Every structure is written in structure tokens, then in C-alpha cells.
Amino acid sequence: MRTRERPRVALVVALLLAAAAPGALAQPAAGATGSVEGAVVALEEGELIVDLSSATGAAVGDRVELWRKVQLRHPVTGRPVADRFRIGTLELLQVGAQLSLARPDGALSRKPAPGDVVVLPRRAAAPAPAGSETPAPPSGVTAAPAPDAAAATPALDADATAVSRLFDGLRGAPLVARIRAYEDYVRAHPRGRYAVVLFEEAAALRRLLEPTETAGLATTLALRSHEAPRSVLARAPVTVGVELTGEPVGAVLHARASHEPAYRSVPMRPTGGGYWAATLPADRVTGPRLQYFVEATRADGTAVAVVGRQDAPIDVRVDERPTVGGDGRSRNTASVSTDYADYNRGRGNDVAWQTEGVLGMRLRDVGVRAVRSGFGVYRGVGGSVEELDERGLAGRSVGLTYGYLETELGLSRLTGLGGRLVLGLEDDGLDGGFQLSLRVGSDLETNLLLGGEVLGGVGLRGFTQLDLRAIERVPMSFRVEVTNQPAGTSSDRGDTDDDEAREGSEVGARAIAQVGYVVAPGLELALRGSYQGRTIRHAGPGIGGAVGFSW
């Protein structure tokens, strides 16, 4: 059988008691009465908590005086002045090892407040019983002077006071509680006078306990289970959970995006059965990678990494989720747009009106990026500047109703080639056309589109378009065109009034600005304005709009 070591707590207590009496814990008030002073610590439902205790000589039923401190600066001399005034008496209802509970004994002249001074008069020493007088010294021997009572009970220093209070609080406590209290004291006062002996005492008590008893003192924390996600969706809340063994007092989730320099911490909450969980808000889940680790906290306040580490976190891929609206990340779109352009100051002889509808599907960044199919109606009246302005001839009407199929090939995420084939009907029969374009930048973000178009019976058009995605819910486009539409194709058809040949339209330029707004998830409205002309005097405004839906 194992020999048990005898604890040395009794020795420590004996040393402390030999150094000072219990009553020396309190500080006596100035004056000849030797009163003990304390202070009001708190007020609770008409009762006062004061820092007098049994160690200061207080007892249930004692009357203590209540004083109010006054500190101010003299208005004439400017010097600080301090004094105090008695505002009443308190009766001690309960007396503890460190605090006491009191209530007013009679009326108080002022409402009590924390910080008020309480004064406990020291009890007078009981008279010595008859016959107990100190005998006279033998003849020829000088009697020693009586010891000073204050010198016999010197006040304890800070270390002795703290340890004495520690022992008072451990009266009747089990060994496990004592061990923890001693170890907590050593951690809080590593350089204290009694730190070494208390540490040795805690170690000796641990050795006295059976293995089954020390199980309650285990501080080892371990991860029982955790399943890291393979990927998460961008801008969506993510919940991280762990199952821990031991008895952690807390857990913290530290997370960051891979491009961020520092982690941000989110406290985890217990969910029962050893499980802890925390949820990262949506704005913390951004790509391309999410990194995190989890720390658990022991009862002594130390943190232990249980999932990943700061220098080796769990790394999770962040996927861009399909969203609806005007951010361009949706897979399918349907839209209708219309545009009216006046080239000649509202005279009606050089105008164009084009309406298009499109249904599209986006596939990927590289390769066949997108496929679109749509229809269009083009109606216009035009001619050369000489015919319309100088000779006063009526404009020639043109029109094409068409369908088209287009595709875009992604050469890389930031480069794409587009092509469109057009087939339609005009007054004279079938006609067609095509369009080619080059995109610089991702179609999901701000990009630049360069292209040209041939539309049978209508004319030619070259364009440069900047799609701006700086504001998430407000997509914008700015476009410049150089075109001879409408009526840009020569005709040998004679005029009914004068038999002269008619020419096609002259080249003009257009400046177009369009601003959209996502009014609801998946629904976007847009307005456009334009100004176009062939000369400084042959020009006019334009207007248009569009509605689109994405899913």
C-alpha cells in the first residue's frame, strides 16, 4: 500500500497565526479609540454590503457608524479640503469571512452610497478576574514594561492577508477544491512569499488522492470530432461545429479570407453533449479561400488549439454562388430592349427605331462561354444630307424583321470572341447580316467590347462599349457607334417625283449612355439616352429602355 504524505497546510496556517492575530486584518481608525474602519461596497434592496468581517472583530448585532467623506477644493485658498460627517448608524445582520450585511438602525441624514465609511468601535477588554493580578517581581529584579498591545498584534502584509483569506474561504472544502485554490493562487501570485509552499502543498495533496479522484482535475482538452467542409458558398453564412472532450470553459473560432492579413474571432456557444458551434456572418465568407482554426479554453484560462492552428489553418474553397439580378453571375437571361434615334432635329426624315429580344445561357469562363438567340425589328427613314437638307427630298424607308443566333468563345477568363448570324425579311425578300466582337475583361465584371455589324438593307455599324459594374445594383453602359444606318445601302430605285437616283445615308456618330437598376432579385430595368448626328446641323437626341430577368 502506498505511503501517504501528510499535507503541510496546518504548518502554513500555524506560521501565519503566529505572525498575527485574526483581528489584525483590519486597519484601525485614527484616534485613541482603536476603531476599525471599512467601507460600503454595494447596496441591495435597502441593505448594505460592507467590508467588515469576523476577521476584523465584527459580530452579528454590532452597531457601526456610517460616515460620508467630503473632498473639495477651497474656493478662496484653492487648497484641497477633506472631511467627513456622520449620517447615521447601521446594524450588522450577517457577518462573513470577508463581507457583512447591514441595515440602517434608525433614520439616516443622507442616502447611503458605495464608498461611504463605516466605523466599528473596538470592544473594551474584559476586566481580569480577581486574583489574577500579575505577581510582583522578586526582590532585586526590575519588572519588565508591559508589552504594547499594538506591537503584539502587528498588521499582516499583503501576502499574509491574501493567504489568510484564502484559508478562511476553504473551511470545510474538499481536497479537490483546495488543490485548485492553491494552484490558482500560485498562478495569480507567482512571486508571492507563500507561492512555493502552496505549490508544494497542492502537489502533495494530488499525490494523496486516488487515481479515480484525480479524474475531476483533468485539464487535458481534445477534439473528439469535426468535419471540415470541402467548399462553401460565397456571401452565405457558414456554421462551424466541434465536439470536445474534457471540460472546456469556452471555445473561439478564428477565421479569415485567404487575402486578409489577420484572423477575426467569433465566440462559440455550447450546444450540449460536448458540442460547440459558431456561425460566420455572410460578409465574412469571401473568396477565393476561407481559412479558420478553433481554440478551446481550460479552466485556468489557457487556450489550446483543437482544430488547425494559426500557422496551419483549415483551408476551404469558396464557390461563387449563382445569384439573380444585375450582377451578371446568373446562368440564364431573358431581356427586351428598344432604341429610338433621331439624326435630324425632329424632322422625321432621318430616324431609326430598333427593338430586340434575347434569350441567353452562360456556360463557363473558358471555351463556349455563352449561347444566345433572339429576334429584332428595325424600322427607319434616311438618306444623304444633301437629299434631305438641301434638296428637300423625303427620306427612304427601310425595314428588316430578323432572327439571330450568336455565341461567345472564352479565350481566357478576361478575353472572349463573339459572333452573330442574322437572317430576316425586308420589303424585297430575304436578307441577312453578321456581327463580330472582341471582349476585353470578364463579362461578369467591368469589361470593354469592340465590334462591327453588317445588317442587310439597313447599313453598317462599328461600336465600342464599356460595361461598368462598379455599383452592384446599378449596372451602367457607355457606347459609341459610327454608322451609316438607316438607309445606308445604295439603291437604283427612281423617285416618283423627280426621276433622280437616290443615294444611301452618310456616315454619322452616336453617343449612348444606359443606366440600369435591380429593382428586385432577378429583375432589372434600364433607361438609355443618346445623341447622334451626321453633321453639326444634322443631329438629334434619342431615347430607349430595357427590361431583363435573370435566374
What is the secondary structure of 483-506 as a DSSP string? Answer: E--SS-S---PBPSSS-PBPP-PP
Angle between helices 158-169 and 9-19 in degrees, nearest 10: 130
**Res. 10: pLDDT tops 70:** no
Q: What percent of the chain has pLDDT over 70?
A: 80
Is the pLDDT at 47 greater than 70? The verdict is: yes
Tens of pLDDT, residue by residue over 133-143, are: 444 444 444 44
47 grid coordinates: 441593505
| More confident of the two residues 503 and 166 | 166
**Full set of structural domains in the chain with CATH:** 21-120 (2.40.10.410), 222-319 (2.60.40.10), 332-550 (2.40.160.40)
pLDDT, position 123: 61
CA distance 342 to 353: 9
| 459: alpha, beta or left? (left if phi > 0; alpha if psi -120 to 50) | left
- Concatenated DSSP letters of 103-135: EESS--SS---TT-EEEEPPPPPPPPPTT-PPP
Confidence band (pLDDT; 50, 70, 90) for 424? very high
Give which of 156, 162, 168 is closest to 27, Cα–Cα: 156
- Contact between 458 and 422 under an 8 Å Cβ cutoff? The reply is no
Work out whether the CA dihedral 97, 101, 106, 111 comes out positive or negative.
Answer: positive
Q: What is the DSSP letter of 312?
A: B
pLDDT-derived band at 380 (thresholds 50, 70, 90) equals very high
pLDDT band for position 488 (50/70/90)? confident
pTM for this one?
Answer: 0.44
pLDDT for the residue numbered 329: 47
Q: What is the mean pLDDT of the chain?
A: 80
Percent of the chain with pLDDT over 90: 38
Quote the distance between the C-alpha of residue 145 and its chain's center: 73
pLDDT at residue number 548: 93
| Range from 318-327, 407-416, 494-503 carrying the lowest mean pLDDT | 494-503
Instruction: Report the distance separating Cα 459 and Cα 345, nearest Å.
Output: 21
More confident call, 362 vs 194: 362
Distance CA 85, CA 64 (A): 14
From CA 365, how far away is CA 371, in angstroms rounded?
A: 13
| pLDDT at 297 exceeding the cut of 60 | yes
CB 331 within 8 A of CB 361: yes
**Mean pLDDT calculated for residue range 253-257:** 92
Helix, strand, coil in percent for the chain, rounding step 5: 15, 45, 40
Q: How many residues does the chain have?
A: 551
Helical (H) or strand (E) element with 393: none
Is 221 a residue whose pLDDT tops 90?
no
Cell of 464: 465600342
pLDDT in tens, 263-276: 889 999 998 888 99
- What pLDDT score was predicted for residue 156? 52
Give the per-residue pLDDT at 493: 41
Task: Find out whether 457 and 398 touch, Cβ atoms under 8 Å.
Answer: yes
pLDDT in tens, 440-479: 998 888 999 999 999 888 889 999 999 998 887 899 999 9
Q: CA separation (Å) from 166 to 135, 184, 186?
A: 42, 11, 12
Is the previous residue joined to 288 through a cis bond, with omega within 30 degrees of 0?
Answer: yes
Strand blocks (E) in 121-230: 222-225
Distance from C-alpha of 503 to C-alpha of 231, rounded to nearest angstrom: 63
pLDDT for position 55: 82
Average pLDDT for 380-397: 89
Q: Judge whether 339 and 380 are in contact, CB under 8 Å.
A: no
- DSSP count for the chain of H helices, then E strands: 6, 28
For residue range 331-370, list pLDDT tens digits in order: 789 999 999 999 999 999 999 999 999 999 998 888 999 9
The whole-angstrom separation of Cα 349 and Cα 334 is: 33
Between residues 307 and 76, the one the model is more confident about: 307
